[in-house]
Amino acid sequence: MIPLNNNEMLLLRGREGTLGIVKAGENGHFFLETENEEILLALEPDDLLVASGFGTDKKVINGLKCVLYMIREVGSPFIVLPKKHPASKRLKIVVSAGDRTRISCSIIPGTHPEQDILCGSDEFDGVEISGVKGGVEFKNLKGGKLETVPFEI
């Protein structure tokens, strides 16, 4: 288990991609806004928000932190686009929320067939990330470098 508290972001740095992971936190309420309705997603504090970025440079890491910060700290809702919306191909960072996330390289970013799958670079294909009390657990992790950084802007 990798320890992670609410003031930290866990980075998994790879050769081609980077994952940013934070706890869902005490508030735990997130809004999903579709064309027709609003869905309230209520998570446990130890669940996770996982952001996947295609790149490894500082811009990507700052982007991961900003996206997660917007969601968890600012309370920015998830705006759900219709399938095949032209914006899908513009996405540079994608986010998963829940108790478990599986990384797959075989799906198109932003068009995920299953709810707990998050697209990522090849090197993270098959990795499972679970939120556990006080930290994060990984399965099938074969590469990449883990680093904990402050979750502040």
Q: Which residues bind other proteins (CB under 8 A)?
A: 28-29, 31-32, 34, 37-44, 51, 63, 67, 78-81, 83, 85, 87-88, 90-101, 109-119
For the CB of residue 34, give the shortest distance to other proteins in the complex, in Å: 6
Are 89 and 113 a contacting pair, CB within 8 Å? no
Task: State the DSSP H helix or E strand holding residue 46, giving kind and residue range, or none if neither.
Answer: none
For the CB of residue 23, give the shortest distance to other proteins in the complex, in Å: 14
Based on CB atoms, which residue is closest to other proteins, 1 or 42?
42
Lateral strand order in the sheet of 135-139: 2-3, 135-139, 128-132, 100-104, 117-119
Based on CB atoms, which residue is closest to other proteins, 85 or 145?
85
- The sign one gets for the Cα dihedral 64, 115, 133, 124 is negative
For the CB of residue 15, give the shortest distance to other proteins in the complex, in Å: 21
For the CB of residue 149, give the shortest distance to other proteins in the complex, in Å: 19
Based on CB atoms, which residue is closest to other proteins, 1 or 79?
79
Distances (CA, A) of 146 to 12, 97, 109, 137, 141: 5, 20, 23, 12, 11
Pairing mode, if any, of strands 100-104 and 128-132? Answer: antiparallel
Based on CB atoms, which residue is closest to other proteins, 74 or 79?
79
For the CB of residue 85, give the shortest distance to other proteins in the complex, in Å: 6
Based on CB atoms, which residue is closest to other proteins, 28 or 135?
28
Q: Residue 46 region, left (φ>0) first, then alpha (ψ -120 to 50), else beta?
A: alpha
